[in-house]
Copies of this chain bind each other. A is one copy, B any other.
Amino acid sequence: MYVSSANVSERQAAPPALAISTVIFALRPSASSGRPTLWLPLVRRIREPYRDQWALPGGPLSHAESLQDAAAQNLRETTGLAPNYLEQLYAFGGLHRSPTQRVVSIVYWALVQPTEAALADESENVRWFRADRLGELAFDHNSIVDYALFRLRNKLAYGSVAYHLLGEYFTLAQVREVYEAVLDRQLDPANFRRQLKSTPEIQETGEYLQGGKHRPPRLYRFTGRPGLDQDNRSTP
């Protein structure tokens, strides 16, 4: 059982509970503009505290899993997906995060490509939300998502994580759209393209994306590391 029904004296004596949570980002076309936007899945709480409010997927740490494995497991259970990228975000340990019990949460963040199946995994208690239109979440989860967004933007600007939101093959314009969606500003297509072309991890293929309305763009692929290392520490 996740939240034990400890009384006050038990709470004082017991060590803090240890939980793993995961902020899962994926791209979906906006209903209005059709341009890609950031979404994330939340789960509805079925018990107190914060019953019926939406929260980050998570749970207690099983004794047989590493932290990263627990997060990946977590992700698979709520979405049916495997992460393309998974990294530790932060350990949150404030005294009053949960009203009933002292909980220390080690939070991971992940990037996935949502498939039809994954989106169909929605249910009464699991739903995808636009990252910029979450309501009021349980616990301190709003601020955790804010921090995860901050980290995602940072990694995007300096690292090479955008490709983990895309499929194996992509056009340079698609990469630009990811940047524009996450950073929320327009980028010069010409300059952006040149920057990507100077990145050795991006390999051009002989294929072209067909079926568009205009000149067919060339397809590229990402040849960097998968972003699922044993312990990812490239953060800072």
Q: Are A106 and B94 in contact (CB under 8 A)?
A: no
Q: Judge whether A202 is part of the interface by a CB distance below 8 angstroms.
A: no
Among A61-69, A112-120, A162-170, A189-197, the stretch in contact with B? A61-69
- A90, B231: Cα distance in complex, Å: 10
Question: Bound complex: CA of A13 vs CA of B62, how far in Å?
Answer: 10
Among A48-56, A146-154, A173-181, the one that faces the other chain is A146-154
Which residues of chain B have C-beta atoms less than 8 A from A17's C-beta? 15
Closest chain B CB from A109 CB (angstroms): 11
The verdict on A12 contacting chain B, using a C-beta distance below 8 Å, is yes
Check A3 for interface membership: any CB of B closer than 8 A: no
Expressed in whole angstroms, the Cα–Cα distance for A231 and B16 within the complex equals 18
Asked whether, in the complex, the Cβ of B236 is within 8 Å of the Cβ of A150, the reply is: yes
A60 to B65, CA, bound (A): 21
With A90-B88, A91-B91, A91-B106 in contact, do A63 and B235 touch (Cβ < 8 Å)? no
Identical copies of this chain, number:
2
- Chain A 179-213, CB within 8 Å of chain B: the 1/0 string? 00000000000000000000000000000000000
Which B residues lie within 8 Å of A127 (CB)? none
Q: Let me know if A151 and B66 touch, CB within 8 A.
A: no
Closest residue on chain B to residue A17 by CB atoms: B15
Which chain A residues numbered 107 to 148 have a C-beta less than 8 Å away from chain B?
Answer: 147
Query: Is A46 close to B, CB under 8 A?
Result: no
A82 / chain B contacts, CB cutoff of 8 Å:
none
Within 8 A of B (CB), among A1-57: 11-18
Contacts A88-B91, A93-B106 given; 4 further ones with Cβ under 8 A?
A11-B63, A15-B60, A16-B63, A90-B233
Please list the residues of chain A having a beta carbon within 8 angstroms of any beta carbon in chain B. 11-18, 60-61, 63-67, 88, 90-91, 93-95, 102, 104, 106, 147, 150-151, 154-155, 231, 233, 235-236
Which 9 pairs from chain A and chain B are nearest by CB? A67-B93, A154-B236, A91-B91, A151-B236, A91-B106, A18-B18, A147-B233, A235-B236, A66-B94
